Amino acid sequence: MAISRTLPDQFEIDDSGITHKPTGWKFTPRPGDPTDGTVIEGTAGSKLKTGEDFRSDDIREMAIRLWLKHLKDTKKIS
């Protein structure tokens, strides 16, 4: 079984959090601390109806990089 590649364009990012669109994996920050919050795994780690299979740790790694970039770009952190 081939693991699907996690790519930046698969994510939706706004101030309410970051979501991996194919799996529904989502990080929602706590009010007052944009680097701490809740993660919902969605279907990460499970084969999707499309045949894609994304590793949860790959999604998390990419999401962290993208989220930190978003926070820096929007000056929420330095």
The tens digit of pLDDT for each residue in 31-62 reads: 989 999 999 999 999 999 999 999 999 999 99
Helix (H, G, I), strand (E, B) or coil at 8: helix
55 belongs to a structural domain: yes
Tell me what pLDDT residue 1 has.
Answer: 56
The Cα–Cα gap between 77 and 2 comes to: 37
CA 38 to each of CA 30, 33, 48: distance values in angstroms, whole numbers, following the listed order? 7, 11, 23
Per-residue pLDDT tens for 58-71? 999 999 999 999 99
2 belongs to a structural domain: no
44 belongs to a structural domain: yes
Q: Mean of the pLDDT values across residues 10-14?
A: 97
> 59: how many CB neighbours lie within 10 A of its CB?
24
pTM of the model: 0.92
**What's the total number of domains in the chain?**
1
Domain that holds residue 14: 8-73
27 belongs to a structural domain: yes
Higher pLDDT, 13 or 3: 13
The Cα–Cα gap between 63 and 19 comes to: 8
42 belongs to a structural domain: yes
